[in-house]
Amino acid sequence: MSEHGDIIWQVHTLRGLGPIKFSMSRSQVDRFSADIGSIQAERSDTVESQQAGLEDLYKVFPDLFNDEDFKTVSEAIVEFGPAMDDRVVEFRTNGLSFEYTSGRLTEIFVDENCKKLTFMNIPVFLEDPVTIIKKLSRSLKEQPLIYEQEVIFPEHKIYLFSFVEEIGSSGQYQAGPSCHRSMSWRESVRPNSVELSEYHLLDLDRLVP
């Protein structure tokens, strides 16, 4: 039975989700399972699992990789893989996922199945996506950036995917497909992501309801 009610589903930028705080251990987060649901699956990005995944991909799609491609990617895993070696992602019910680095909570991810999620009493996945971005911008007092289908609020480490998309080359934006909509947030800069220089300011006046 839920112990914390709807308060558990409130987004707190740079802090966490309801009473769940960034930097908590997995066991600390697991105490809220009655509210957030049980763990359905988990993924650990060890160097060994990354290498095994590459080998499986090579076997399934041999025409996509030659030996030189395989060697290049394999060497990259050896060089850069350890940076992800201590990362674990656990997938829970309700479209909720937690990412841990060195055993501590670093990122929270939710998809469109998490209908209870709210930010400042705004239902994130029930509100019109154009409206939610405008309300977020006003509440956070931050101008969002956009790159393809991802809108971010870099100062508050919020990442929204498929909420809006550009209408051709018109410079105007409309709601993106709801089936791929997701939101994630952190307390620190997201590693291994697209450079901020690739994003550009999202003109809120060019968002089409």
Domain ranges of the chain: 5-43+85-206, 48-81
DSSP for 145-202, please give it: EEETTEEEEGGGTEEEESSEEE-TTSS-EEEPPGGG-EEEEESSPPSS---GGG-EE-
CA distance 163 to 177: 7
| Residue 124 or 167, more confident | 124
pLDDT one-digit tens code per residue, 17-36: 999 999 999 999 999 999 99
Where residue 72 falls among pLDDT bands split at 50, 70, 90?
Answer: confident
Mean pLDDT in residue range 100-105:
91
Phi and psi angles of residue 35, each rounded to the nearest 5 degrees, phi first: -95, -40
Question: Side chain identity at 98, as an amino acid letter?
Answer: F
pLDDT score, position 1: 45
Q: How many helices (H) does the chain have, and how many strands (E)?
A: 5, 16
pTM metric for this prediction: 0.78
Q: Residue 9: pLDDT above 90?
A: yes
The answer to whether the CB of 30 falls within 8 A of the CB of 105 is: no
pLDDT score, position 14: 96
Q: Which residue pairs, CB below 8 angstroms and at least 24 apart, start in 126-131?
A: 128/175, 128/209, 129/163, 129/164, 129/175, 129/176, 129/178, 129/181, 130/163, 130/164, 130/173, 130/174, 130/175, 130/207, 130/208, 130/209, 131/209
pLDDT one-digit tens code per residue, 173-193: 888 888 889 999 999 988 767
| Best-predicted range by mean pLDDT (11-15, 47-51, 80-84) | 11-15
